[in-house]
Amino acid sequence: MPALILGASIAGNRWGPAVSGWLVSLPLTSAPVIFFLALEQGSVFASRACEGTILGLASLSAFDLVYSWLSRRSRIGWLYPMLLGWGIFFVLTFLLEDLSGPLIVSFVAVAIMLIVVIMLLPKSSGLALRVSPISNLSNEWQIVTRMIAATALVLAITETAPLLGAQLSGLLTPFPIYVSVLAASAHRFQGAASAVELVRGATLGLFTPAVFSLIVGSLIVGSGIGVSFGLAIAVSLVVHGVLLRILRKNMDQH
C-alpha cells in the first residue's frame, strides 16, 4: 500500500490535479481489502464485500459532488466542504447497509449514478487558479501522510471485518481518504479550480473500481482468487486507460 500511494502521488504531481484524481480512483484500497478478506474470511465473504464496495462508490460520488460545489465558495475554504461530504458519505453508507441484490444490478445502478454525478459536477472555469510554492520537504510529508492514511484504512477494515460484516466492510472501503487529502492540498495551494478538477478526474475514474469489484465478486467463489483478481486487474487497467483518454480529451476542450 505505501508503495502504491507513493507512485500515485509522484505521478499526480507531475501531470496535474485531474490526472492525480484519476490515478487515486484506482482500486488502491478496495483491491487489497477484498484480497485480504478473501484470504482471512473466505471467498463468499469477499464476494459479498464486493457488492458493498460497488454500492459504496455511490456514497463516494455523493461526497465528490458535495465537496466540488461547496469548495467553489471562497469564504468556506476546504475544511467545511470536506466534513459535510464525509457526513453525506456516512449517511448514505447507513442507508445502503441493508440493501442487497444481484451484483450486476448494483453495478448498473451505481454506473448510472456516476454518469449523473459527473454531469452535475461544477465547471472549474471562472475560478481563479492560485499557485503557491510547495517546498520539497512539505511535499514529501504530504506523500508520507497519504501512505500512512491509506495503509491504516486497509488495516482497520480488514481487522474489524468480522465485526462489521461483509456488506459494511465493502461499503466503508471507498471512504474518500485519498481524494480528501489530495483535494485539500490542491485547494490550499492552487485554489478551488484545482480542487474541482481533481475531484472531476477522481469521479470519472470510479468506473474502474466498480468494474474491478464486479469481476472479482462474480468470479471469486467459482474460480478462486488468482483467476478473479488476474482478470479483474487486466480489465481494470484497460478501462482506466480508456477513462484517461476521455479525461484528457475533456481537458483539451477546456
CB 40 within 8 A of CB 63: no
Over the stretch 121-133, which tens digit does the pLDDT of each residue have? Answer: 987 654 444 444 4
Expressed as residue numbers, the domain containing 172 is 2-253
- Give the list of residues 6+ apart from residue 146 with CB closer than 8 angstroms, or none: 5, 9, 178, 181, 182
Alpha helices of the chain — where are they, by DSSP H?
A: 2-15, 17-24, 30-41, 43-71, 79-96, 103-120, 136-164, 166-172, 177-190, 192-204, 207-253
Asked if pLDDT for residue 179 goes beyond 70, the answer is yes
pTM: 0.85
Over the stretch 8-47, which tens digit does the pLDDT of each residue have? Answer: 667 666 777 888 888 888 888 889 889 988 998 899 999 9
Give the total number of structural domains in the chain: 1
The C-alpha atoms of residue 187 and residue 183 are separated, in whole angstroms, by 6
Q: Among 49-63, 104-118, 192-206, name the one with the lowest average pLDDT.
A: 192-206
Which residue do the cell numbers 480528501 mark? 180
Asked if pLDDT for residue 189 goes beyond 80, the answer is no
Q: Among 58-72, 138-152, 166-180, 204-218, name the one with the lowest average pLDDT.
A: 138-152
CB 217 within 8 A of CB 103: yes
